[in-house]
Structure 1
Amino acid sequence: MTATTAPAPLTVQDAEALLTAARAEADAAGVAVAITVLDAGGHPLAFRRDDRAVLIAGETSTRKAYTALQLNAPTADLVDLVKPDGPFHSLTTALDRPLLFIAGGVPVHRDGRLVGAIGVGGGAPEQDHAFASAAVATLV
């Protein structure tokens, strides 16, 4: 029998590194965003909204992160699945806590296991996805 060890959880330091990396990407593109990082339990570890970001960006970044976490998939990959003719069209209203199927949420894995998620809101969906993905790619 082999013992399996759980991956190290996402730490506050990891969350701050993700936030910093996503913000650097957004700043380089000249886009004002909000960024949310959640741990594996869906609890916030880091949040930041640029002064110039639209107010709703804070809510969308959090919901994107939550959606990516709950479904263990980038929200960009889920958009077509929840359209009215998609196989999971009812998923948008299936839970008490609303999911948000707009690109910009990306799960965070460590040693192949889900340890959290990042959500970015405020830019175009493709930009938000790129900023979040770039941040996750920097986490070691």
Structure 2
Amino acid sequence: MSLTLAQARTIIDHALEQGRTDSAQPLAIVVLDAGAHPVAMVREDGASLFRFDIAKAKASGALGMGADTRVLAARAASNPVFFQSVVAATGGRLALSPGGVLIRDVEGAVIGAVGISGDTGECDEACAIAGILAAGLSHGDMK
């Protein structure tokens, strides 16, 4: 199964809705397919300059390392030299903060990732998960 534009739009719409429910700061959201190609992206009015870049780095980092960025951040805390090397080797395409979440189909296969930046990592991640679930998909380490 491939991630569709309709699914990506649902993820974005519901992530934004969750952000407004949670009174989040303005968000930037990037949805990538399994090959890290952009499917859809949005930047709310007022989102700061680097938010889109950070959101994309969260999504591509999750895909590239095969884990949500929350997991990667925990791993980086105990192995910072390796993760600094990964960030350098990938030209900065990895952000070590929650908000990069793998998207899985109903069978558990990774079909993409969503990256959100704008508020705390925890809020960004909660918005991403809300969007993924609204699209009828699963996330992260769930299978």
Same fold (TM over 0.5): yes
1:121 matched to 2:95? The reply is no
Normalised by the length of structure 1, the TM-score is 0.87
Distance 1:35 1:119 in 2: 6
Query: Offset of 1:72 from its aligned partner?
Result: 2.1
Moved more, 8-17 or 79-88: 79-88
* Residues matched between the structures, number: 133
Alignment-derived partner of residue 101 in structure 1? 96
Conservation of the 8 A alpha-carbon contact between 2:100 and 2:115: yes
Alignment-derived partner of residue 134 in structure 2? 138
Structure (1 or 2) with the larger CA radius of gyration: 1
Gaps of 5+ in 2: 137-143
2:110 maps to amino acid? L
| Per-residue Cα deviation, 1:70-109 (whole angstroms, up to 9, x for no partner) | 1221101111212374584332223245311111000001
The percent of aligned pairs where both chains have the same amino acid is 32
Gaps of 5+ in 1: 1-7
RMSD between superposed Cα atoms in Å: 1.7
Alignment-derived partner of residue 16 in structure 1? 9
Alignment-derived partner of residue 57 in structure 1? 51
Normalised by the length of structure 2, the TM-score is 0.85
- 1:71-82 equivalences in 2 (<5 Å): 71-82=65-76
Which of 84, 91, 102 is the matching residue for 2:86? 91
Q: Does the residue aligned with 2:67 lie in a helix, a strand or coil?
A: coil
